[in-house]
Structure 1
Amino acid sequence: MSRPVRNSPQQTLQLALELYQKGEFSKAEKLARGLLPGNRSNPSFLQFVAALCSAQSKFKDAVALCQQAVKLAPQSSEAHYNLGAALLGLERHAEALSSLQTSNALQSGQPDTLNNMGLALFYLDRLSEAEAALRQAVARTPHAQAHHNLGLVHQKRERYQEAIASFETALKLGHPDPAVVLHDVGHSLLALDREADAVKYLEASLRHRPRHAETLMRLADAYRILGRIDDTARCCEAGLAVEPSNMVMGALLLHVRRQGADWHDLDKLSRKVIRAVPDGTVSPFSALYMVDDPALQQTCAGRYSSKVAATHVVAPLPRRAPVRRNKIRVGYLSPDFNQHAVSRLTAGLFEQHDRSRFEILAFSYGRDDQSSLGRRVAKAFDRFLDVSDQPPMKLAESIHAHEVDIVVDLAGFTLRSRSAALARRPAPIQVNYLGYPGTMGSSWIDYIIVDRFVVPEGHEQYLTEKPVYMPDCFQVSDSNRQSAPIVRPTRTQCGLPEQAFVLCCFNNTYKLNPPLFDSWMRILKAAPHSVLWLVADTEEAKGRLRREAQGRGVDPDRILFTARVSHAEYLARMSLADLFLDTWPYNAGTTASDALRSNLPVLTCAGRSFVARMAGSLLQALGMPELITASANDYESLAVKLATDPAACGPIRSKLAERLPSAQLFDTARFCRHIETAYETMMQIWVGGEQPRHIDVQTTHQT
């Protein structure tokens, strides 16, 4: 019997090379290692085995082999390059940079070396040097990876347009991992608020790697902003299947399920999200509607703020010396200077500011919706600055460059927030107001505008900011707000029964929850001639709410819905209802103001946190505390009484009608004088060299 012919070392090496070229790295390595005993003094061979190890992410083995090669050939640029590349794989970036710099010194201008140098410098946060190295690489040859890495540098420096251009070039040059590049384009487009474009790239990325959690998360974000609720939920569910502990996705799933009235497993998911609060990954906005717990909300905001600061802040901006000028320069920061609830409340305030004492600037990073309200708001400012193309760090520089004395964040941790800009301390005094009804938990926010109802005695401990107590109500209102048309629609035209007692709630669907809905259904059962009139954004949400009613023994036909209509039509429709049922623990804010202005009584249940006491604050300021309850039982009992006893409801509505014409709650000039007093006090404290402290604004009769 003849023996099998054994390959020569040269033949074995050739076979290993062929396997390497086919991508069969493990087989190639096994063959190559068999040749190691005779090649330990061969630096080229050692580097070949190291390349096989690196191809399998066995970077520790690759580094050991490359270090041997460098000892044998210290003047080999290639050996130092391969060592640097392997060290990059181990994330030993400083050592990698040293090896790559040696390689470049021995043979300068090699594109691969410059690319990896740029990558090491990027990870070391030496961004200017990284950009210089990568620009050299792409200047020497069309290098897809270098263009991609240059895009990453631009992205980290928040130069998103330039980042997109680099990523697109990388794709055109045939980057070997298009999924990564497509994802990064989508990321940059999201940062530019171009969600529809981002969706195209993120969906394309997922076609290459459908189980990539980060891409699923970004796509879910884009869907959410575009209002694609069910798509958002599906994305989050897919992402959680990959990373079950990812509570960034968990919190987003919780929000969109609530927005879509999908309450299955709601308690289980809420508990998971709450357990993740200490990690700093849960958006503080989620905590506002999950539980009525001001301590948990403060913890959530604080941990999240710390993470935001660590992620975004490059360096604090230089502090200005405390100097009083002739006019206090106030900058309002918001994405909502358009047809939005915040502008419907604040437009009159911006107009009413005393220009002999104040200069008023807007830093607008929202979309121009061409609305009459948007035009009115823009006209109200001394300077209206469109900063929509400025990411947080650039925005901070703009605020600082305009020497703003007091910056007022009207968005906080809401959708499209750029509160991270304030982490760089662009203004000496920084204020949280209106848009985010709770503490931001941030060391960089000095004050929060409140009143004695939303933050009762003893609850200031749950604020990281110093409270500024307004004498009437924390919420400003616009005296010149658009009124409902003189001719209002009939109930029949709006699909309402003419003779029923109409209970309504036009709050966003995410504010609804099973215990609240249980309460509403008990009210409907006890008031058989009543109906419940709601707003929901999708047919799926409407169907779910009707099924929830039916499951609680209530005829689903008693659950009625209004469409999203213009603001004037919305106000007109609201006046057709008999009683507004507030949500808890997340109360109505602007919607409660709208209802009261429409002579529609608002019944609320006040809780413990700021957000759970907003409607109560409005009612207290209006002199109608009888509509504020303190428990679900009291809330239900009063609702049933008002819905079944005309003698109880009629006087309430008459009292509201009597109070509206002279209500201090809706006196914009009065509120303006009060908040200007607060701003002047903040300035006195700063100019005097004091630390921020609580401010109690006294009532003034000046108008």
Structure 2
Amino acid sequence: MIREWMCGFLTSQAEQAFKEGDYTRVRACCQWVLHEQPEQLQLQAMLGEAALAVRDSFTARSCWQACVDANQQDAQAWFNLAKAQIQLADWPAAEQALRQAQALAPQVAEIQQSLAAVERMQTAVAAGAEAQTPAQNLTQAVNDAVANKAWQQVRELLANPRDRDAQGQRAYFLATFYLGLRDEAQQLWLPLAAQERDPECLAAAVVLSLEEQQLNHAERLLQRAQQADASHVAVRLAEAVWYAQHDTERAEKCYQQLLLDCPQEPEVALAVGGFYAQAERLAEAEQVFRQALQRDPRQAAAWYNLGTLLLTYRHDLAEATQCFEQAVERDISNTDYLNNLGVCYRSQGLLDKAEQCFLRILQLKQDTASAWRNLGLVYGLATRHVDAEGCLQRAIALQPEHAGGWLELASQHIQASAPALAKRYAEAALALEANSYTYNVLGLACVHLDQCEEAERHFNQALSLAEAEQQSGPLINLAGLYSSTLRIEQALEILESHLGEPGGFYSNYLFTLNYSPDLDHRQVLAGYRRAVEPVYPPARYQAYANPRSPSRRLKIGYVSPDFRRHACRYFIDPLLRHHDHQRFEIYAYSDVRFPDDITEVFKGMVDHWCHAPGLSHEQLAERIRADGIDILVDLAGHTAGNRLHTFALKPAPVQLSWMGYGYTTGLTQIDYLMCDRQFLPEGYEDAIAEQPWFVDSPLFCYQGNDWPLAEQSPFKRNGYVTFGCLSRTIRLNKHDLGLWAKLLQRVPESRLALNTKTLADPEVAERFAAFFTERGVARERLLFGYSSPAYVAMQDIDIILDCFPHNSGTTLFESLWQGLPFVTLRHRPTMGRMGATILHGLGRDEWIADTPEEYLAIAERLAGDTTALGDLHGSLRQEMQASLLCNGAAFTAKFESAYQQMWQRFCEVNAEEGSA
């Protein structure tokens, strides 16, 4: 079934390409479909017409021959077959086809005219009068292009096989080889192999044979090349490549001697640097490339190779970008240089620059599938999903057998919130290549379709096919599913057993550890220390040049990947908006890879803005020190895109964490974690690695949103109270669910609404429902599903139930904003106290419980006073707006006072250092 769908997809792509005159896409799509469905004559005809238009005569002849074989009465097919024969100068075959067409359509004048022209041509040929039009200066033009190593120009000059004499065949072969078209070069070498004496051609053939692992054949070719000219640079390079297969010490000597003898030859430095890079002798490879550029900075290829080295092995995105810029500046028509530069720009969120690189490639060569794919990825990141889809579809149309293209389109549709199509594209990729990565992407599509049980099967299949180094993705995804479906112990077991491995295990372990329902705060912190210590570097900086004046204007730096349309913006905004810029100079270090309109708003709130995605952790640390930041504030914790590696280096004298994560970072290099006494009660200071810095409650300030309020409370519509929770299912466990089951038994006729994405999967919903039915709660009292945005679900809820031991976060603020009271249990610091700090800031401590029994009593009391519930529904937003929870100016003043006290403490402790 999926292959039939793929045929339909590619047929539509072929039709679109035909309208656009894009023959390469037409050909790729039609050939794939015809391989699957050879009876599709309309595609034979479409391909035949396109081939005629671009003078691909052999393809045209094959297509129209298939058409006439299928229908001998089709005059147009016979006529088109004749056109193909005319292009091939096969006059007898053309005449025969035209006579068939004439017999079927004698009234068509064009057929008559073509037949007469063919008859005249045959007469001329017989008389030896066929016109000859050789290119007058072709040989000289080819020689000049070869001398300048303009290999693409050589290919263009000799594109017609009829123009290639023996010298032209050699030149065309070398051009193909040097341009990296290895398969074609192998075919071109075959007719040359027996008699060829040109040393450069023989050297190229040596490399081709080595790439095919034909070592004996390569040795014989090398001997022939050395007999022809042992001193030729290409021959000596081939000799070094040959030795590199079995005697690296001898190969290195060959390369070093070449460097001594031919330092000005660009290909020598490239080859030697490549040899060292392949041997992972990276410092030596880098030195070779840099020395080559010192001798001649015009060498585009050396800039390109240096950039590739820095990007691949050093992961130095910033300097690699500069190298690729230098390469492109010197050769703006090299698609490899443009491609790597575009990828670097894309990785830094410089989407406009990336777009220009890929568009330039497509101007040079419209049928470059990789450029279409990369351009599609750029548009996807810019949320231009329609444009992204069009580009990725073109890439698939050009390379239908490339499973990666289908997977990229699947990933794009996941990003564009179109998981049904994403799943279809992933299934298409699976039909082409059943590997671990394909199953993993298919599993992700199912997750986004809320088909968690099926996703789990795909992740397990991905694991069964994965090599050890490929297992991280499916393992982490599988752990995520377990943690969200009442199997958090299994999730932690997976993540903890892979803690020392790359791929993100440690960060997912930390995230999941927070939600474990059976660990106390000391056990959680111990897990953090165990996971964090091997990952982060020790502090690099000990001394700071910041003036030790407690009263001066302080430089405050905020570091976050969430200066964008993200839930964190509702809490960051009130702080940045109300800063006193006379007393504080505000810096933002933004790791937003793809800025949006909210990013622009944040830019206007600060004195200095640094777009940081292209900076390594070390480079960002140096930038922070150069800016003279006094207090550096982490707004992300261990969430995606964090810069804790930079904080670990300790670039600022005072460092603290707040808001984005809600728990310890586990890093002692971060001096403080912002807390209030609800968040971290007295006696629990051992729950965090940092020192707590206490401010008056509340610890957070909420900006609010423009969600509409429901006209009346749900109880008035339904006649019964509905409890609800909108938290992610990772927070749901046997403790809070068990307590809620007791609550439903205590409040007759009440309902429980759990509204979250995971529960949109009926199988997962029933897994959770079984927990309640086993405890005597009827299934019809359970309202499980998912709706978005959250206020839609809130319109059907009277009272929100907070989770424990890990409380909800943003949804608690949103609940109050929508007129819904919530009940919370003060539990494990710190995220088990989030609900308490919110309610204490609102002045509603009566909704805070210290025991499970109190929790039940508060919820039962709220449910029993439906009049008060109705009143709260209409008044709670105004109450919230009038409270400290929404007082941005007071909140910022509180934080600014904390900053000044932190700095004064630093100055007192470090007074003896002065301003050194």
TM-score norm. by structure 2 comes to: 0.53
Which residue of structure 2 aligns with residue 361 of structure 1?
587
Instruction: Work out whether residues 589 and 614 of structure 1, in 8 Å CA contact, stay in contact via their aligned partners in 2.
Output: yes
Are 2:513 and 1:287 equivalent residues in the alignment?
A: yes
Instruction: Work out whether residues 302 and 440 of structure 1, in 8 Å CA contact, stay in contact via their aligned partners in 2.
Output: no
Amino acid at match of 2:567: A
Partner Cα separation in structure 1 for residue 629 and residue 251 of structure 2: 44
Are 2:484 and 1:269 equivalent residues in the alignment?
A: no
Instruction: Work out whether residues 322 and 687 of structure 1, in 8 Å CA contact, stay in contact via their aligned partners in 2.
Output: no
Which residue of structure 2 aligns with residue 606 of structure 1?
826
Shift of 1:403: 2.6
Are 2:842 and 1:622 equivalent residues in the alignment?
A: yes
Summarize the Cα distance change of 1:458–1:159 in structure 2 as closer, same or farther, 3 Å threshold: farther
Instruction: Work out whether residues 502 and 579 of structure 1, in 8 Å CA contact, stay in contact via their aligned partners in 2.
Output: yes
Which residue of structure 2 aligns with residue 12 of structure 1?
none
Which residue of structure 1 aligns with residue 556 of structure 2?
330
Shift of 1:545: 2.0
Partner Cα separation in structure 2 for residue 522 and residue 134 of structure 1: 76
State which of 444, 449, 452 in structure 1 corresponds to 2:669. 444
Are 2:590 and 1:430 equivalent residues in the alignment?
A: no
Summarize the Cα distance change of 1:461–1:222 in structure 2 as closer, same or farther, 3 Å threshold: same
- What is the CA deviation profile of residues 330-369 of structure 1, one whole-angstrom value per residue up to 9, with x for unaligned ones? 1212222233221112312212112221112222222667
Instruction: Work out whether residues 577 and 605 of structure 2, in 8 Å CA contact, stay in contact via their aligned partners in 1.
Output: yes
Amino acid at match of 1:615: G
Are 2:818 and 1:594 equivalent residues in the alignment?
A: no
Alignment of 1:494-509 (within 5 A): 498-509=718-729
Which residue of structure 1 aligns with residue 631 of structure 2?
406
- What is the CA deviation profile of residues 630-664 of structure 1, one whole-angstrom value per residue up to 9, with x for unaligned ones? 44454345434533565896899899789646533
Partner Cα separation in structure 2 for residue 386 and residue 143 of structure 1: 25
- What is the CA deviation profile of residues 553-580 of structure 1, one whole-angstrom value per residue up to 9, with x for unaligned ones? 23256315452228xx56xx64763211
Amino acid at match of 1:429: V
Partner Cα separation in structure 2 for residue 143 and residue 216 of structure 1: 38
Which residue of structure 2 aligns with residue 463 of structure 1?
688
Which residue of structure 1 aligns with residue 643 of structure 2?
418
Shift of 1:193: 7.0
> 3-state DSSP class of the match of 2:559?
strand
Instruction: Work out whether residues 110 and 137 of structure 1, in 8 Å CA contact, stay in contact via their aligned partners in 2.
Output: no
Shift of 1:412: 1.5
Shift of 1:502: 1.9
Shift of 1:519: 3.4
The total of aligned residue pairs comes to 594
Which residue of structure 1 aligns with residue 705 of structure 2?
482
Partner Cα separation in structure 1 for residue 521 and residue 255 of structure 2: 52
Partner Cα separation in structure 2 for residue 420 and residue 529 of structure 1: 53
- What is the CA deviation profile of residues 277-306 of structure 1, one whole-angstrom value per residue up to 9, with x for unaligned ones? 577942122221234443343344444444
Instruction: Work out whether residues 526 and 640 of structure 1, in 8 Å CA contact, stay in contact via their aligned partners in 2.
Output: yes
Summarize the Cα distance change of 1:138–1:356 in structure 2 as closer, same or farther, 3 Å threshold: closer
Summarize the Cα distance change of 1:254–1:168 in structure 2 as closer, same or farther, 3 Å threshold: same
Which residue of structure 2 aligns with residue 309 of structure 1?
536
Shift of 1:625: 3.2
Instruction: Work out whether residues 451 and 469 of structure 1, in 8 Å CA contact, stay in contact via their aligned partners in 2.
Output: yes
Partner Cα separation in structure 1 for residue 292 and residue 526 of structure 2: 42
Amino acid at match of 2:522: A
Which residue of structure 1 aligns with residue 14 of structure 2?
none
Are 2:783 and 1:559 equivalent residues in the alignment?
A: yes
- What is the CA deviation profile of residues 499-553 of structure 1, one whole-angstrom value per residue up to 9, with x for unaligned ones? 2212122223433335433433443344332223333236743652255215632
Partner Cα separation in structure 2 for residue 96 and residue 301 of structure 1: 49
Instruction: Work out whether residues 334 and 365 of structure 1, in 8 Å CA contact, stay in contact via their aligned partners in 2.
Output: yes
Instruction: Work out whether residues 80 and 102 of structure 1, in 8 Å CA contact, stay in contact via their aligned partners in 2.
Output: no
Partner Cα separation in structure 2 for residue 475 and residue 435 of structure 1: 11
Amino acid at match of 1:608: R
Which residue of structure 2 aligns with residue 513 of structure 1?
733
Instruction: Work out whether residues 84 and 99 of structure 1, in 8 Å CA contact, stay in contact via their aligned partners in 2.
Output: no
Which residue of structure 1 aligns with residue 312 of structure 2?
152
Shift of 1:498: 2.8
- Per mean C-alpha deviation after superposition, the further-off stretch among 512-521 and 225-234 is 225-234
Which residue of structure 1 aligns with residue 903 of structure 2?
683
Amino acid at match of 1:119: A
> 3-state DSSP class of the match of 1:688?
helix
Partner Cα separation in structure 1 for residue 541 and residue 578 of structure 2: 31
State which of 524, 527, 534 in structure 2 corresponds to 1:297. 524
Shift of 1:98: 8.7
State which of 221, 226, 237 in structure 1 corresponds to 2:460. 237
Shift of 1:679: 0.8
Are 2:859 and 1:635 equivalent residues in the alignment?
A: no
Greater Rg, structure 1 or structure 2? 2
Amino acid at match of 1:129: Q
Amino acid at match of 2:564: N
Which residue of structure 2 aligns with residue 527 of structure 1?
747
Summarize the Cα distance change of 1:319–1:595 in structure 2 as closer, same or farther, 3 Å threshold: same
- What is the CA deviation profile of residues 678-700 of structure 1, one whole-angstrom value per residue up to 9, with x for unaligned ones? 11122223333449xxxxxxxxx
- What is the CA deviation profile of residues 354-385 of structure 1, one whole-angstrom value per residue up to 9, with x for unaligned ones? 222111222222266755x5554433223344
> 3-state DSSP class of the match of 1:404?
coil
Shift of 1:399: 3.1
Shift of 1:426: 3.3
> 3-state DSSP class of the match of 2:624?
helix
Summarize the Cα distance change of 1:137–1:533 in structure 2 as closer, same or farther, 3 Å threshold: farther
Summarize the Cα distance change of 1:85–1:276 in structure 2 as closer, same or farther, 3 Å threshold: same
Amino acid at match of 2:490: K
- What is the CA deviation profile of residues 17-46 of structure 1, one whole-angstrom value per residue up to 9, with x for unaligned ones? xxxxxxxxxxxxxxxxxxxxxxxxxxxxxx
- Per mean C-alpha deviation after superposition, the further-off stretch among 615-624 and 143-152 is 143-152
TM-score norm. by structure 1 comes to: 0.67
> 3-state DSSP class of the match of 2:674?
strand
Summarize the Cα distance change of 1:369–1:491 in structure 2 as closer, same or farther, 3 Å threshold: farther
**Alignment RMSD:** 5.4
Identity %: 21
> 3-state DSSP class of the match of 2:757?
coil
Shift of 1:80: 7.9
Partner Cα separation in structure 2 for residue 683 and residue 400 of structure 1: 16
Summarize the Cα distance change of 1:145–1:442 in structure 2 as closer, same or farther, 3 Å threshold: same
Partner Cα separation in structure 2 for residue 363 and residue 123 of structure 1: 34
- Per mean C-alpha deviation after superposition, the further-off stretch among 553-562 and 598-607 is 553-562
Summarize the Cα distance change of 1:538–1:123 in structure 2 as closer, same or farther, 3 Å threshold: farther
Partner Cα separation in structure 1 for residue 805 and residue 214 of structure 2: 54
Alignment of 1:248-267 (within 5 A): 250-258=475-483, 261-263=484-486, 266-267=488-489
Shift of 1:389: 4.6
State which of 272, 287, 308 in structure 2 corresponds to 1:114. 272
Which residue of structure 1 aligns with residue 891 of structure 2?
671
- What is the CA deviation profile of residues 564-612 of structure 1, one whole-angstrom value per residue up to 9, with x for unaligned ones? 228xx56xx6476321111222212222222234442211122223111
Which residue of structure 1 aligns with residue 32 of structure 2?
none
Amino acid at match of 2:589: F
Partner Cα separation in structure 1 for residue 663 and residue 318 of structure 2: 28
Q: Which has the higher contact order (CA 8 A, sep 6+)?
A: 1
- What is the CA deviation profile of residues 152-199 of structure 1, one whole-angstrom value per residue up to 9, with x for unaligned ones? 146454667659956957999xxxxxxxxx9xx99xx89x97899999
Which residue of structure 2 aligns with residue 73 of structure 1?
none
Which residue of structure 2 aligns with residue 583 of structure 1?
803
Which residue of structure 2 aligns with residue 45 of structure 1?
none
Which residue of structure 2 aligns with residue 396 of structure 1?
621
Summarize the Cα distance change of 1:680–1:347 in structure 2 as closer, same or farther, 3 Å threshold: same
Partner Cα separation in structure 2 for residue 361 and residue 648 of structure 1: 46
Partner Cα separation in structure 1 for residue 569 and residue 641 of structure 2: 16
Summarize the Cα distance change of 1:640–1:117 in structure 2 as closer, same or farther, 3 Å threshold: same
Summarize the Cα distance change of 1:562–1:212 in structure 2 as closer, same or farther, 3 Å threshold: closer
- Per mean C-alpha deviation after superposition, the further-off stretch among 553-562 and 435-444 is 553-562
Amino acid at match of 2:831: V
